[in-house]
Amino acid sequence: MRPRVLVVGSINMDLIVRCSELPRRGETVRGEEFRTAAGGKGANQAVACARLGAATTLVGRVGEDEFGRSLRDDLVAEGIDVASVRVDREAATGVALILLEQEGSNRIVVIGGANARMGAEEVKQARARLAACNVVLMQLETPLPVVREVALAARERGVLSVLDAGAATPAAAEMGLPGLVDVLSPNEPEAEALTGIVVRNLESAREAAQALREMGARDVVIKLGRGGAWWSGPEGEAHFPAFPIDPIDTTAAGDAFTGCLAVSLAEGRRRSEAILRANAAGALACLTLGAQPSMPRAEEVEGFQQERQPRL
């Protein structure tokens, strides 16, 4: 039976600029390439889940504009249920400006637009969909009260909740969000935002994970980029090394990771197997330019895992 995943999150159009160097304050530099690509952490993760074989439903908002129409069409083409994606006539579709450097690293500025207006209607839609899903997947690019209410509803109904801490701020910790979810997955700066602990190595990742568990998260999976992932949960803790690659674009690698983690858990896989598989999905996403275009399919992840071994 196909796993069923409910994603509640942001939908953006990404405006990608590739440049050899980033401008300093007051400086103008020449870019080398510009393109648009479908993005937004919620939509990215929904695409990741769908491509990995999950029956996927997305709850979110877009504006009544060309970006919004294009993004909805793309999601439908991926087989995602968008009946709960609301069209907002008073706000533009969210956008993200991505400055992409030669070595594949990026800096991102997000303008929430319609995403920032998500509220009671989206919570209502999510509640109505929870009974039909195995896992609910959320992020922090949408209003925190929405995330909180959906997490509470998932807990009431006994549905496994996964929170990608993308766009985390201390406010998420102050609201108690780590304690409302089953699996919490930040990257290094997001873990720092939630705990105040600077994550620079495995030891500091371990400290941050322990702090997040003390806040109430059952399982914590910290994404470490080239360093792989660190897991801490009731059954123990472990480091999962990254797969060695030469990245082209790291945009949305974390979304591929968390989407794959959610689907793998929905399939009933063990934590260790789910995280290894998520590492492979994140690595594959770095080999293609753009967010949603880089989300891998299940057969690609399986083939990649068979061909390569994690860095020891």
Structural domain boundaries, residue 54: 4-11+40-92+116-307
In a domain, 27, yes or no: no
For range 26-34, the mean pLDDT:
89
Strand order in the sheet with 219-223: 81-88, 55-63, 4-8, 135-138, 160-164, 183-185, 219-223, 229-233, 236-240
Among 79, 103, 81, 85, which residue's Cα sits nearest to residue 22?
103
For range 34-62, the mean pLDDT:
96
In a domain, 16, yes or no: no
Number of domains making up the chain = 1
Beta-bridge partners for 162: 137, 183
Q: If residue 235 lies in a helix (H) or strand (E), which one and from where to where?
A: none
pLDDT digits (tens, 9 = 90+) for 275-307: 999 999 999 999 998 889 999 999 999 999 988
pLDDT digits (tens, 9 = 90+) for 177-203: 999 999 999 999 999 999 999 999 999
In a domain, 110, yes or no: no
In a domain, 98, yes or no: no
Q: What is the dihedral of CA 230, 10, 294, 105, to 10 degrees?
A: -60
In a domain, 288, yes or no: yes
pTM across the whole model: 0.93
Dmax over CA atoms of the chain, in Å, equals: 56
Q: Are 281 and 305 in contact (CB under 8 A)?
A: no
pLDDT for res 24: 83
pLDDT for res 103: 66
In a domain, 23, yes or no: no
CATH of the domain at 266: 3.40.1190.20
In a domain, 17, yes or no: no
Among 187, 250, 189, which residue's Cα sits nearest to residue 222?
187
Q: If residue 227 lies in a helix (H) or strand (E), which one and from where to where?
A: none
Cα separation of 161 and 228, whole Å? 22
Cα separation of 213 and 13, whole Å? 34
**β-strands 106-111, 81-88: how paired?**
unpaired
pLDDT digits (tens, 9 = 90+) for 89-139: 999 999 999 888 776 677 888 899 999 999 999 999 999 999 999 999 999
pLDDT digits (tens, 9 = 90+) for 126-174: 999 999 999 999 999 999 999 999 999 999 999 999 999 998 999 999 9
SS (H, E, C) 271-295: HHHHHHHHHHHHHHHCCCCCCHHHC
Q: Which residue has the tokens 């260790």?
A: 272
Q: Which residue has the tokens 């690595």?
A: 283
The residues annotated as belonging to the active site are 255
Q: Degrees (nearest 5) of the Cα angle 14, 16, 20?
A: 160
Q: Are 232 and 215 in contact (CB under 8 A)?
A: no
In a domain, 155, yes or no: yes
